[in-house]
Every structure is written in C-alpha cells, then in structure tokens.
Structure 1
C-alpha cells in the first residue's frame, strides 16, 4: 500500500461531518473545498504532476466516501483530488506551529522549488526534478540514487505523494526529511512511521482567495504567495509501535 493510500485511511478518522461542496482540476493544481457541521469551509490543494498525465482511467468527482478509490486510481487527476481532499480535511486540525529543523549540509531539494533553492544558494545543495518542463539546471530524479544518501537535510515536494516516488526517497535518505509545499498540507501526526521528520506547508485563511488564485491557473509557493495563508513548520511526533 502506498503512503497516499495509507493517508487516505488515516484521515477518515477525522472526516466525520465533512462534505465536499466544490472542486476543480485547474491548469496547475486541483483543489477540493469541504464544509464541516458548523458550515465552516476548508480548502485543500495539490499541484498536478503534468509529466504523469494520461487518458487512462475515468476521472471521478471527489467526495469523502470515495476517498480511498481516488487515492488508488491509475489516473493522477483522481489521486490529486484525493490528496486535495486529505489536505482540505487536515486544514481544520493543523496548528500554525513554527518548529524548524536544524539545516545541515549537504542539502537535497527534491522538486525544483526555485524560491527554496535560492534560499540555500550559499550552501552545498543538490536539486532534483522529475519534470523536464521544470528542470532547468536541476539534476534529474535518476541521480537521487547516487546523491541522496550524502544529504543531511532533505526537502521533498508533496507532489511525490502522487507519483509514488516518495517511498523510495524515504527508503534511501539518511538525513532529516522535510515534506514541503502546499500539496503537503497534512496533519503532521498522520505522517508518523513514514520517516518524515517535519511538515512545512500553509494554512489557507481565505478560501475564496486561494480558490480564485488556482482557478486562474496559478501555482502556489510558500515563499512567494504568503498573502494566501499562514506558513507552518511542524515536527512529526514519532511512533515506535
């Protein structure tokens, strides 16, 4: 079972009273908006890995009852809806903590997140990118097998949940693993047992504002789009069961 599938099962413990009221597969990302019993709205999103798009498998409308079906689908749009729904439910329960890891070199960044890469320009850093569209000067993901084991600090884009590359990254990484980005807006404790040490993402404080931003075909960056919400960094409580 993939980590994404396991997260879908775990989030169901928090899902009572939620219903999906809006969703979209936009140009750069999917989003799902849920409403709880008190009619409070929460939005979760997931960037779309365009290199993994294909026409196989029927795309279905997301709801809480079909979450496990979404996260097990062969179509990445469904999986993206599933991750967005996990993130939407999580939004209610995430606290705006500011718990930051110690940054040690070498730094690995999985996913060419340019504002983050720029932040570490004065350090020894390896950047990996699966998409040829987004790669620029980054290494391909193939070189992760050679270099990840050297890295003491590993930033991993949440999109790795969708293309099932996260599992291998966590298997070979020997550093502090930080799942980062708006696609990683997950209740931190749900990441126990997966070798994830920190979650860094965003709590969206204006559902309509982020919805309209995504509908226009935009990406969301924790470094650039601070007006869309509150960034948080949370240590994952470890489980040794």
Structure 2
C-alpha cells in the first residue's frame, strides 16, 4: 500500500518538528507544524461522504501519532495522517525546480485520451476545447453530471488512457494504488490539488510523473480561511506549483 510506504518515509523527517495546531474540518483538514526554519501548513481534503460512525483512536495528538495513522481504515485518522504528512513535506520541500504553471501545460499539444479522477468542470471544459478525448470519473454521486462516469469504471477504462490527472483525494479514499496499477499505459500521471502537497521523492518509483499542488505562502491568511470553512479564503494564501517526480 503506497500510503504505508509514504508514512514510513515521512516519519524519518519529523525529528526537529513539533505539532502546533490541527483541525478536522471542512473543506480541508489541516495540520500546522514548526521547526528551526519556521512553520509549515499541510492540508488534506475532508470527504464527508466517506465518514461513518468512526471514532478517532488518538487521545493524545502528536505529529508522529497522526502520521502513523495515515494508512488507517478509519477515514478520520487517515485524513489527519495525510495532512500531517503534507505539513512535513511542505516544511522540507524544495521548490527551486518548480514550475509555476497550470496543470494543463503538462499535457502534449496533440490530442489523446485523458482521464480526470474527480469531477473538475473548469478543467474538463478547457481540455475538451483543446481537442482531448476526456473521461471524467467521480465517486461522489452528488458531483455527477451528464458526462461523468462512476469510478467503478476506472478499472476497465484507465488502461486506455494516454494521460491521467487525478485529484490527490485518491490518497484519502484509498484508491491511489488501483489507479496507478490500471493506468499502466499513461505517459503522464498527475496528482493535483492541495491534498497533493507531498514531497516528490515520496513517489519516486511509482507511475506518478508530476505533483500539481499549492504552497502556502501566507499561513495566517490561509489558516483563517480554513477555520472559516472557505475554499477561496484558503486559496488566497497559496501559490500553485508543479513539480516533476524524478
């Protein structure tokens, strides 16, 4: 399980970091850490449709305890764990080789089959306008539209794709391993969105080729947006980036 491998790598990087604050909330669960170089904020999208009658087994929160639960079957623990891993990643991340571009710039100009894992209407619209054959998969039925496929069809259709742009929430809902296995012919596999704040070296040796995420550049502004449950409030404190996984 990829999350199990990622958590072990993240645990090796927590020595000089302490947990400052955290929140399991909408739209994002967040973890704030601090070390000698300053503070870093990590997030993971909260998926209400995945939450049932779970009880968090962590009674004394710590950075290490959160990360150790990143591969838990309990979605609350898993979300907090991934947010903690992202906080550690953002503290250590080197963006000197980052491209400050939109995810669309990663795709070749020639047409082809592109899978979107997660319904992202603005991206879908632009891809179709550029001539790509777009397949949109979505697990949450509330987000379906007339051109959306159930995620149950990913298993059969992903091997046909030339490129995959996957919402990094696939890490939260536990489908990342299946997606990477089935997208065996895709030349580009992008994890996108704030949940994809991982260190690229955590994904070395997988089929993931790029991370398209957000760097929190104004922690105070972003944190206020998170506490107020605001997508736009959070994103105002961020800057988008793309990193290649090498």
Q: Whole-Å Cα distance in 2 between the matches of residues 46 and 62 of structure 1?
A: 17
Counterpart contact for 1:46–1:83, Cα < 8 Å: yes
Which residue in 2 is equivalent to 1:229? 238
Counterpart contact for 2:211–2:245, Cα < 8 Å: yes
Counterpart contact for 2:67–2:84, Cα < 8 Å: no
Mean Cα displacement is larger for which, 61-70 or 23-32? 61-70
Task: State the TM-score, normalized to the length of structure 1.
Answer: 0.88
Match of 1:48 among 46, 49, 53: 46
Q: Whole-Å Cα distance in 2 between the matches of residues 226 and 47 of structure 1?
A: 13
Match of 2:137 among 122, 128, 139: 128
1:71-101 alpha-carbon deviations (Å, 9 max, x no partner):
1322211111111111111112321501863
RMSD: 2.0
Q: Whole-Å Cα distance in 2 between the matches of residues 87 and 67 of structure 1?
A: 11
CA gap 1:215/1:16 in 2 versus in 1, 3 angstroms:
same
Q: Once superposed, which parts of structure 1, at least 4 consecutive aligned residues long, lie more than 6 Å away?
A: none
Q: Which runs of no fewer than 5 residues in structure 1 stay unpaired? A: none
Pairwise mapping of residues 155-234 of structure 1 onto structure 2 (< 5 A)? 155-173=165-183, 174-175=185-186, 176-219=188-231, 227-234=236-243
Counterpart contact for 1:62–1:85, Cα < 8 Å: no
Q: Whole-Å Cα distance in 2 between the matches of residues 184 and 11 of structure 1?
A: 14
Number of residue pairs matched by the alignment: 232
Task: State the TM-score, normalized to the length of structure 2.
Answer: 0.87
SS in 1 for 2:128: coil
1:88-131 alpha-carbon deviations (Å, 9 max, x no partner):
11112321501863335211100112332233132210110001
Pairwise mapping of residues 24-173 of structure 1 onto structure 2 (< 5 A)? 24-38=23-37, 40-60=38-58, 62-94=61-93, 95=95, 97-98=98-99, 101-103=106-108, 105-122=112-129, 123-137=132-146, 138-173=148-183
RCO comparison, higher one (Cα < 8 Å, 6+)? 1
